[in-house]
């Protein structure tokens, strides 16, 4: 499937959902591209997973921002590759640094720089420990198997809208509770 076909399909997928994330965050190695960039040379011409570019463009076309959270120890190579692939300027935040935490510090930086709350973000990564740590922050997180593709996008958007619906329901429950006379919320607006 060419980039244009993927873009069309991704637009269709997103059209199904009433709510979409404000920001989608991608890991690099084995999520956007099929290699560890620390094992490659800056002189090489890298390539993305086949559906990655179409998905990035579809998100942008729908007004959804995109960002990077990578623990790559070679940000210089990663940056060079993003540039060579012609996608470097697409990202509103690029957090590429090695860290002992499982990307929680990457997401704190992204949150600070973009102002997007964690529950309005969707995250794709191929490592379970990152997925676990970041979902605890309130970010809808999807483990990818062979890089990001249309199936992963569909899965991500489904999980995101379910997550948001449950947050809304809890909010409603709380508001009802707070409105009850004699409840602890009686002095609140």
Number of alpha carbons in the 13 Å side-chain half-sphere of residue 110: 35
> How far apart, in Å, are the Cα atoms of 99 and each of 3, 31, 33, 108, 130?
33, 18, 20, 13, 11
Query: Residue 79 Cβ, how far from Mg ion at the closest point, in Å?
Result: 16
Q: Which is nearer to Mg ion, 37 or 116 (CB)?
A: 37
Q: Which is nearer to Mg ion, 30 or 81 (CB)?
A: 30
What DSSP string runs through 65-100?
EEEEEE--S-HHHHHHHHHHTT-GGGEEEEEE---S
Query: Residue 129 Cβ, how far from Mg ion at the closest point, in Å?
Result: 11
Catalytic annotation present for 3: no
Query: Residue 28 Cβ, how far from Mg ion at the closest point, in Å?
Result: 6
Query: Residue 62 Cβ, how far from Mg ion at the closest point, in Å?
Result: 25
Distance CA 156, CA 40 (A): 30
Q: Which is nearer to Mg ion, 14 or 37 (CB)?
A: 37
Catalytic residue among 3, 27, 83, 187: 27
Q: Which is nearer to Mg ion, 120 or 131 (CB)?
A: 131
Cβ(27)–Cβ(128) under 8 Å? no
Catalytic residue among 3, 8, 29, 126: 29
Catalytic annotation present for 76: no
Distance CA 12, CA 5 (A): 11
Query: Residue 31 Cβ, how far from Mg ion at the closest point, in Å?
Result: 5
Q: Which is nearer to Mg ion, 47 or 161 (CB)?
A: 47
List residues binding Mg ion (CB under 5 A). Answer: 27, 29-30, 126
Kindly list the strands in the beta sheet with 91-96, ordered across the sheet, starting from the edge strand earlier in the chain.
Answer: 91-96, 65-70, 23-26, 121-125, 140-143
Which residue's C-beta sits nearest to Mg ion? 29
3-state helix, strand, coil in the chain (%, to 5): 50, 15, 40
The residues that are catalytic are: 27, 29
């Amino acid at each position: 499937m060419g980039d244009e076909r993927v873009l069309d399909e991704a637009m269709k997928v997103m059209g199904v959902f009433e709510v979409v994330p404000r920001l989608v965050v991608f890991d690099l190695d084995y999520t956007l591209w099929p290699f560890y960039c620390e094992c490659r040379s800056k002189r090489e011409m890298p390539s993305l997973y086949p559906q990655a570019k179409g998905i990035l463009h579809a998100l942008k076309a729908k007004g959804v921002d995109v960002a990077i959270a990578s623990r790559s120890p070679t940000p210089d190579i990663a940056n060079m590759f993003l540039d060579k692939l012609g996608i470097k300027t697409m990202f509103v935040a690029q957090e590429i640094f090695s860290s002992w935490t499982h990307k929680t510090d990457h997401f704190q930086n992204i949150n600070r720089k973009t102002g997007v709350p964690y529950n309005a973000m969707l995250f794709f990564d191929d490592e379970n420990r990152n997925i676990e740590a970041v979902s605890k922050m309130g970010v809808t997180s999807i483990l990818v198997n062979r890089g990001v593709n249309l199936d992963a996008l569909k899965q991500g958007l489904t999980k995101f809208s379910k997550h948001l619906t449950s947050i809304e329901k809890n909010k409603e429950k709380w508001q009802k509770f707070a409105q009850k006379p004699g409840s602890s919320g009686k002095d609140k607006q």
